[in-house]
């Protein structure tokens, strides 16, 4: 990675904005962020909250730096099948069963249709619980439309199990899943960078720092 400008390094050295850098890094590493402009905007928003000096050019520089840093970290598992791959394989199976799936979304964003069997979501700020260095437990939520909640929960459990994961029993609209969340970080230099997300992602309009509530499941 290239050497940072004095302005960018000064921002990184400012302990008041450690939480901003940590949150943006976490969201890149878990796959919640997939847009360079949104990433820069989050840095600017955090700087404003802490009354820290940060201009647009430096925010773009820091965005490039944090993405390069994340790519370097994720290179360790670039050629491995990770728990993330297993979750996505399970979700592909659910889509084939007419169950809508969303990653880092909430129920209104899912826009379930009357003819959907149901929906499954990894909640909009579940990235907070994820780790690429140790196994943590995340929640996956589900709800029925033409099928019952119980049927959608069982389909989710079966798909995750078939993919090689060990989910907990479905209960009250969600199940717990132990995962080592090693996301395959996208390279901004790839031509299809903005098109790599397979399932619904968070609306950039909802990408405020640290302001997302936990779900009302129904």
Whole-structure pTM value: 0.86
Neighbours of 205 (CB within 10 A): 7
Question: Is residue 195's pLDDT more than 60?
Answer: no
pLDDT band of residue 178 (cuts 50, 70, 90) is very high
User: CA distances (Å), 45 to each of 7, 16, 121, in order?
Assistant: 17, 13, 27
Gyration radius from the chain CA atoms: 18
Question: Is residue 2's pLDDT more than 90?
Answer: no
Note whether 143 and 215 are within 8 A (CB). no
What pLDDT is attached to residue 205? 44
User: CA distances (Å), 177 to each of 25, 84, 138, in order?
Assistant: 23, 11, 5
pLDDT in tens, 86-101: 999 999 999 999 999 9
pLDDT in tens, 102-160: 999 999 999 999 999 999 999 999 999 999 999 999 999 999 999 999 999 999 999 99
HSE of 162, CA atoms in CB hemisphere, 13 A: 13
User: Average of pLDDT values for 202-207?
Assistant: 43
Beta strands at 99-105 and 118-123: parallel, antiparallel or unpaired: parallel
What are the residues facing 142 on neighbouring strands?
A: 120
Polymer length in residues for the chain: 218
16 or 214, higher pLDDT: 16
Question: CA-to-CA distance for 136 and 75, rounded, in angstroms?
Answer: 21
Question: CA-to-CA distance for 12 and 103, rounded, in angstroms?
Answer: 30
**DSSP secondary-structure letter at 172?**
T
Dihedral of CA atoms 106, 108, 113, 118 in degrees, nearest 10, equals 30
Element (H, E) at 153: helix 149-162
């Amino acid at each position: 990675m290239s050497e940072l400008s004095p302005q960018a390094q000064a921002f990184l050295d400012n302990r008041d904005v450690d939480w901003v850098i940590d949150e943006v890094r976490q969201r890149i590493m878990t796959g919640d962020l997939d847009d360079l402009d949104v990433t820069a905007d989050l840095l600017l928003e955090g700087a404003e909250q802490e009354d820290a000096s940060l201009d647009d050019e430096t925010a773009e520089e820091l965005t490039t730096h944090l993405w390069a840093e994340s790519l370097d970290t994720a290179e360790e598992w670039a050629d491995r099948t990770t728990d993330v791959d297993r979750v996505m394989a399970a979700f592909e199976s659910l889509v084939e069963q007419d169950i809508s799936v969303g990653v880092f979304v909430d129920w209104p964003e899912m826009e379930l249709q009357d003819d959907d069997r149901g929906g499954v979501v990894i909640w909009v700020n579940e990235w907070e619980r994820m780790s690429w260095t140790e196994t943590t437990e995340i929640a996956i939520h589900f709800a029925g439309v033409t099928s019952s909640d119980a049927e959608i929960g069982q389909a989710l459990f079966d798909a995750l199990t078939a993919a090689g994961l060990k989910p907990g029993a479905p209960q009250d609209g969600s199940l717990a899943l132990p995962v080592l969340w090693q996301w395959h970080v996208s390279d901004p230099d790839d031509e299809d960078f903005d098109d790599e997300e397979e399932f619904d992602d968070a609306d950039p309009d909802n990408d405020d720092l640290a302001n997302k509530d936990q779900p009302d499941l129904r």
